[in-house]
């Protein structure tokens, strides 16, 4: 009874997979926030190195992974794929459940898959400092680790509610030599404006992105780095799905269902895009690709598919995506990494076109699922990851009812070792089931800039 399916280090993918190559029609271009005209490379060069800009727009099916980057990835990749025998037994399901364990990276999540190449390309371009935002702290700690490897300075604007709730993530950033600031801060115009409007704001990813972009745009030695949403981030994360496909082939299997949690969409993109490619090219037409999001911030299930700003202050390009409106500040639930008003444009397009679908869950039900997972498989997952766990359990329970022996694969994107206060709140009965009052809200989205 094989539990762990592992690849050799040499089997770390040599190329990233770019699902843009297999989209039936090109993505709608990002637009300039002021002119509303498509942006060009020059518009992005103030904050991104040229190689990442190239990766953002390329429609090449594969992009080479530099050997220097692969050497760093060897620290934790290939990550193991597990067969969840104990969970299957507990659920009495005929389904086979596999999970890809990304918590083995130094920062404890999938985020290092993109922080390392991003830091690498910036170093190559002669950049001295990176500015970024972080929600739950997973991206911030991943970029702190990566910048340390390449001797770059790193400034991290951390959403204030998480900064207070997750002090250990902040400590990790410090260990790796980065500076971590609660956002909104007094460092930037965007932060000061927000504090003036609302001194007690819990902050949001949208506000923190504005601060980091402003910081990068205002310093010639500094670039901006984003941990999700953008195409090049999804590209880097494709190593997850590419490895999974190889690992499943080793046990002669292929998933019927692929699941990941969705905030900005990068970990879901990472595990699902190679399978979405198989679906789009007709190799495996029936794979069910499911993004799981929180009911309190349900952009894919309740949002509008339209152009919206990626940040709060309006510094970033307008992206065509599912959005709840860039001025929406999601409630400060425990899955801080999923508190984003929009979604990856590629994930959004695939959901819009019916290639993927999305479901949303309340906070307390995902923690219950996380507890089930911890008590069967042993791993205590991050609150964000618990959404994917819940999605996988529900699919397995559907199989129990129908008797189908489906193969379910989900991305176990990170550990919850620094989230124990969230588990404490769950056991104390203090978790609030926030949700988005979408029935009342239709007019609210009228605030989104109108692009025709």
Contacts to other proteins by CB under 8 A: 161, 164-165, 200, 202, 295-296, 324, 328-332, 362, 421, 424-425, 428-430, 432-437, 440-444
- Strand extents, DSSP E, 135-186: 153-159, 179-183
Nearer to other proteins, 42 or 440 (CB): 440
Local structure of 347: helix, strand or coil: helix
Q: DSSP code of 230?
A: S
Nearer to other proteins, 402 or 430 (CB): 430
Taking Cα atoms as reference points, which of 291, 297, 299 lies closest to residue 391?
A: 291
Provide the minimum distance between the beta carbon of 222 and other proteins in the complex, in angstroms, as a whole number.
31
Provide the minimum distance between the beta carbon of 209 and other proteins in the complex, in angstroms, as a whole number.
19
Nearer to other proteins, 403 or 437 (CB): 437
Taking Cα atoms as reference points, which of 250, 238, 236, 240 lies closest to residue 6?
A: 250
Taking Cα atoms as reference points, which of 77, 74, 19, 20 lies closest to residue 247?
A: 77
Please tell me the distance from the alpha carbon of residue 435 to that of residue 391, in angstroms, as a whole number.
17
Please tell me the distance from the alpha carbon of residue 348 to that of residue 424, in angstroms, as a whole number.
34
Provide the minimum distance between the beta carbon of 372 and other proteins in the complex, in angstroms, as a whole number.
21
Answer whether 233's CB lies under 8 Å from 121's CB. no
Nearer to other proteins, 161 or 348 (CB): 161
Provide the minimum distance between the beta carbon of 172 and other proteins in the complex, in angstroms, as a whole number.
19
Nearer to other proteins, 8 or 200 (CB): 200
Answer whether 144's CB lies under 8 Å from 173's CB. yes
Q: What are phi and psi of 311, to 5 degrees?
A: -130, 180
Q: Would you say how long the chain is, in residues?
A: 452
Q: In whole angstroms, how far apart are CA 185 and each of 109, 174, 205, 221, 341?
A: 26, 18, 13, 21, 20
Nearer to other proteins, 207 or 213 (CB): 207
Nearer to other proteins, 49 or 298 (CB): 298
Nearer to other proteins, 1 or 428 (CB): 428
Provide the minimum distance between the beta carbon of 424 and other proteins in the complex, in angstroms, as a whole number.
6
The DSSP annotation for 256-322 comes to SEEEEE-SSSHHHHHHHHHHHHHHHTTSSTT-EEEEEEETTS-HHHHSEEEEEESSSSS-SPEEEEE
Q: How many CB atoms lie within 10 A of CB 417?
A: 13
Task: Report the interhelical angle of 189-197 vs 205-217 (nearest 10°).
Answer: 150
Provide the minimum distance between the beta carbon of 384 and other proteins in the complex, in angstroms, as a whole number.
17
Provide the minimum distance between the beta carbon of 233 and other proteins in the complex, in angstroms, as a whole number.
27
Taking Cα atoms as reference points, which of 160, 151, 148 lies closest to residue 107?
A: 148
Nearer to other proteins, 165 or 287 (CB): 165
Provide the minimum distance between the beta carbon of 383 and other proteins in the complex, in angstroms, as a whole number.
12
Provide the minimum distance between the beta carbon of 292 and other proteins in the complex, in angstroms, as a whole number.
17
Provide the minimum distance between the beta carbon of 218 and other proteins in the complex, in angstroms, as a whole number.
30
12 Cα distance to chain centroid = 21
Provide the minimum distance between the beta carbon of 168 and other proteins in the complex, in angstroms, as a whole number.
13
Nearer to other proteins, 338 or 408 (CB): 338
Taking Cα atoms as reference points, which of 336, 424, 340 lies closest to residue 383?
A: 336
Q: What are phi and psi of 208, to 5 degrees?
A: -65, -35
Burial class of 94 by CB neighbour count within 10 A (0 to 12, 13 to 18, 19+): middle
Nearer to other proteins, 40 or 167 (CB): 167
Burial class of 201 by CB neighbour count within 10 A (0 to 12, 13 to 18, 19+): middle
């Amino acid at each position: 009874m094989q539990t762990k399916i592992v690849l050799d280090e040499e089997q770390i993918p040599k190329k990233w997979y770019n699902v843009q190559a297999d989209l039936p029609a090109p993505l709608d271009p990002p637009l300039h926030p002021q002119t509303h005209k498509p942006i060009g490379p020059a518009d992005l060069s103030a904050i991104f190195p040229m190689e990442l800009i190239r990766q953002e727009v390329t429609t090449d099916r594969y992009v080479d992974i530099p050997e220097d980057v692969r050497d760093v990835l060897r620290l934790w990749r290939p990550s193991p794929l597990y067969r969840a025998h104990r969970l299957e037994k507990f659920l009495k399901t005929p389904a086979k459940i596999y999970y890809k364990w990304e918590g083995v990276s130094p920062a404890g999540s999938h985020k290092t898959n993109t922080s390392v190449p991003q830091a690498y390309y910036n170093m190559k371009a002669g950049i001295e400092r990176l500015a970024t935002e972080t929600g739950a702290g997973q991206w911030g700690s991943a970029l702190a680790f990566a910048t340390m490897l390449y001797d770059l300075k790193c400034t991290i604007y951390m959403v204030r509610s998480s900064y207070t709730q997750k002090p250990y993530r902040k400590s990790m950033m410090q260990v790796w030599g980065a500076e971590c600031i609660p956002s909104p801060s007094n460092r930037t115009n965007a932060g000061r404006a927000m504090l003036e409007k609302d001194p007690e704001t819990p902050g949001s990813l949208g506000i923190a992105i504005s601060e980091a972009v402003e910081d990068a745009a205002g310093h010639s030695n500094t670039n901006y780095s984003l941990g999700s949403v953008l195409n090049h981030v999804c590209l880097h994360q494709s190593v997850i799905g590419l490895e999974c496909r190889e690992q499943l082939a080793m046990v002669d299997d292929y998933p019927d269902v692929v699941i990941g949690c969705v905030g900005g969409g990068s970990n879901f993109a990472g595990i699902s895009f190679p399978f979405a490619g198989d679906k789009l090219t007709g190799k495996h037409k029936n794979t069910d690709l499911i993004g799981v999001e929180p009911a309190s911030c349900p952009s894919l299930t309740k949002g509008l598919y339209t152009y919206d700003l990626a940040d709060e202050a309006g510094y970033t390009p307008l992206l065509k995506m599912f959005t709840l409106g860039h001025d929406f500040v999601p409630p400060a639930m425990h899955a801080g990494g999923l508190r984003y008003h929009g979604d990856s444009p590629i994930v959004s397009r695939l959901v819009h076109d019916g290639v993927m679908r999305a479901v949303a869950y309340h906070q307390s039900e995902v923690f219950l699922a996380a507890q089930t997972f911890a008590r069967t498989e042993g791993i205590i997952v991050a609150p964000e990851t618990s959404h994917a766990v819940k999605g996988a359990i529900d699919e397995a329970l559907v199989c129990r009812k129908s008797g189908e022996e489906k193969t379910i694969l989900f991305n176990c994107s990170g550990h919850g070792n620094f989230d124990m206060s969230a588990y404490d709140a769950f056991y104390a009965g203090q978790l609030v089931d926030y949700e988005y009052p979408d029935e009342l809200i239709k007019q609210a989205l009228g605030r989104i800039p109108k692009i025709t």
